[in-house]
Amino acid sequence: MFSISSGWLTQAEQLPSSYFAARELGDDINLLVIHNISLPAGEFGGHCISDLFLGKLDCSAHASFAGLAGVEVSAHCLIRRDGHVIQYVSFEDKAWHAGVSSFKKRERCNDYSIGIELEGTDEIPYTAEQYQQLIALTLCLQNKYPAIIMDNIVGHCDIAPVRKTDPGPVFDWQYFRQCLTEQATRNNT
């Protein structure tokens, strides 16, 4: 089980990023966006994802990193392949994960969303440990931010469909939503 204290998960590794902004007064957190990331693409483990979110990525370390020079991006959390959770930005602040985006005709999704990255790609199935942690984290977030209803849990592809495809076709939305519903029912009985 996760718990949140002052916007931070007490059971996660915390690596605070400087790539965030304060939420405006009245920004109601009501959207959860699921992403994927791997650096280099298709390679797992290592420190490159954290380095990117912390502004420490050596862009000369791999040819594919050249386009990341000067990029300022973050997510609230990353769930690694083994289920390890790292938090970079307080849920009370805006992480820079969504980019140009829109949800239900409302622009600037960073303003009212929480972004969770899964270590992975659009083509490689996610692990059981990742689903388990994502479900637990989602339930915790829904408890803290009840406006994150089931219909407000989306992929990056849903809020930026021209630019993004993640979490990809291998993300099992049916399984995720079924487990989320079953766990929520168990927690309420």
In a domain, 82, yes or no: yes
For position 32, which CATH number holds?
3.40.80.10
What pLDDT is attached to residue 25? 81
Residue 3 lies in a domain: no
Q: Determine the pLDDT at residue 96.
A: 98
Q: Is residue 88 part of a domain?
A: yes
In a domain, 1, yes or no: no
148 falls within a domain: yes
- Note the pLDDT of residue 136: 96
Residue 44 buriedness (CB in 10 A; 0-12 / 13-18 / 19+): middle
Residue range(s) defining the domain that contains residue 156: 9-187
24 is catalytic: no
Cα 184–chain centre separation: 20
Residue 181: the pLDDT is 94
Three-state DSSP class for residue 188: coil
Residue 96 lies in a domain: yes
Helix or strand run (H / E) with residue 21: strand 20-22
Residue spans of the chain under pLDDT 50: none
Rounded to two decimals, what is the model's pTM? 0.97
Residue 4 lies in a domain: no
In a domain, 2, yes or no: no
From 117, 123, 129, 182, the catalytic residue: 117
Per-residue pLDDT at 2: 94
Name the domain count of the chain.
1
